[in-house]
A and B are shown apart, each in its own frame.
Chain A
């Protein structure tokens, strides 16, 4: 009898121990929705590669717990993104969602995801809506607020005393946002403000107008293939030597520089990260990325990698409890991690307060193009929407 009792109690203890271990061992589930096909597929690839490299550094763990990542392709379409998000929240039961690169896709999936109690930590898109009136306790932008990338170059051009500029951007919401951000800080004369059709191929007509207007500088926002077209044609027209080009982050980076070729030499960018950042975490990242993928990383990959570091630190600080969302949010808000961007902290709207630097395209020792790091333009830039955000508890 005593034997029996002892054996039973032993078994019970063992079983209790086993369940405790399995709860701690269940992996953290992460959903990574991004654009992996179509012309913007290279952006999603950079984001995914940066994220995978971050997880390779942490040994596929976050805060000491194993991680399973579900990757999905939104095809740059809000409805497809929404379908993936619904599936990941409802059947895959993800704890954290991330990865989206287009603001319109993010806006389509944000509300149902956040309301379902899932954390969204953005590696890229940072639309003004989520920074302002629609800000949400479960939403964090580990990347940037969209406008700040062009605000920073506006600050630089204002400080440099450039007296008049010519502005070019595609005719779609983000294009207008970028120009608005630029003009929020640049107060010189605008001699021309042109909105071209989205995905326009030929810019010769616009370039001829720039030549006639003779501005001191050109501010342009052409992401992806549009940027390649514009910069190549601007160089071929022989204008680059006469009128310098300025742009915000993510336009002239390593996702397009190889295709732009020498035409891009001399283009000035305001950026939150460059491949030349001297801090130890950034050097480690840049070297590991080049070793793994055989190319220089872009700020897309850098922000994505940084997101992994941030999540790792926050989940460790909350003792691996991703189900206690309030504790995890408090840990994320502290942003206590060695960011590859140097200084990083969160504003009250869960968007970053970070520094912006000037970079200029040059050739490195191996004949490759890179963004040479210049002066710091602004320290601790805050987005202009935080004041309109009242975060519900």
Chain B
């Protein structure tokens, strides 16, 4: 039971890393970015690639985060910026196009065979969290990193000047610009942070999951569910919803028959939206 709870929380934390970037961009810039999963894939592939050529997991961490952040900025400045004022269907189409291009480009660069990404020996084993209950070390690390990032994000958005600009830019862009906030630059930076979070999630998923073409899409769907349940644009909502989805999914798979088990998070979403149509913690009234 303790083990399954840890599994659920760990899955939830992973989803939070994905969903926080998605919800920030969606809620604050009003932009639906389906290519978020491709950034996650980019993080995993960069990390695996750097690790395979350098032999160092430590070197792979900053490489993956910086590269996905840079990719995020390139996309934001080069393409997505032109789509903020367009309707959601246009945004979905352009970002879905990016997903297809990213998948085939990744196959052309890295080949069709999934990449290998072993853990350093220090993290590869398991530790005994309670007598007779071993738990994989790396999953505990994922848990810790995810919680730390969640805390950090909350402090930045709610307690710093930068966070204030972000919130100002989202609630009324013209006024914020008139007050001297460089909204374009803030949004580019925000997009970079969102991308870096996806890259971090991809990098941490690499040793647990298969580093392969198309790995971003299944996790993107779950992240969208989390975003919608939590309330679009709310970091707090994303955190609560991610943990909820992680736990419900884990226990659903253990306690319910298989067909129902894989459906249960979508039932949860339907139920919550029936009573709270804007999600648990709506940002915009």
Contacts and interface: CB of A to CB of B under 8 A. Distances in A.
B219 A201 contact: yes
Interface stretch (B88-96, B107-115, B276-284): B107-115
A14 interface: no
B262 A228 contact: no
A38 B214 contact: yes
Interface string B256-285: 001101100000000000000000000000
A199 B104 CA distance: 20
A15 interface: no
A205 B113 contact: no
Interface stretch (A86-94, A251-259, A319-327): A251-259
Given A201-B219, A206-B253, A233-B208, A262 B262 contact: no
A37 B254 contact: no
A197 B262 CA distance: 6
A171 B253 contact: no
- Listed residue (B138, B209, B215) with the most chain A CB atoms within 10 angstroms of its CB: B209
A39 B253 CA distance: 24
Contacts of B213: 38-39, 41
A238 B126 contact: yes
Interface residues of B, number: 44
B124 interface: yes
B247 to A, nearest CB: 11
Contacts of A209: 254
B113 A255 contact: yes
B258 A259 contact: no
Interface residues on A, range: 35 or more
Contacts, number: 115
A385 B88 CA distance: 52
Interface string A209-242: 1010000000000001110110011001110000
Contacts of A229: 208-210
A232 B213 CA distance: 18
Interface in A238-292: 238, 255-256, 258-263
Nearest to A233: B208
A200 B214 CA distance: 13
A283 to B, nearest CB: 23
- Listed residue (A202, A238, A255) with the most chain B CB atoms within 10 angstroms of its CB: A202
Given A38-B214, A232-B208, A238-B134, A171 B258 contact: yes
B114 A42 contact: yes
Nearest to B128: A238
Given A259-B115, A261-B118, 10 more contacts: A42-B113, A202-B209, A229-B209, A236-B119, A236-B124, A236-B208, A256-B210, A259-B113, A259-B114, A259-B116
21 contacts: A39-B212, A42-B114, A45-B112, A197-B261, A202-B7, A202-B208, A204-B7, A204-B250, A205-B251, A205-B254, A224-B210, A233-B208, A236-B126, A236-B207, A236-B208, A237-B126, A237-B134, A256-B113, A259-B113, A261-B118, A263-B118
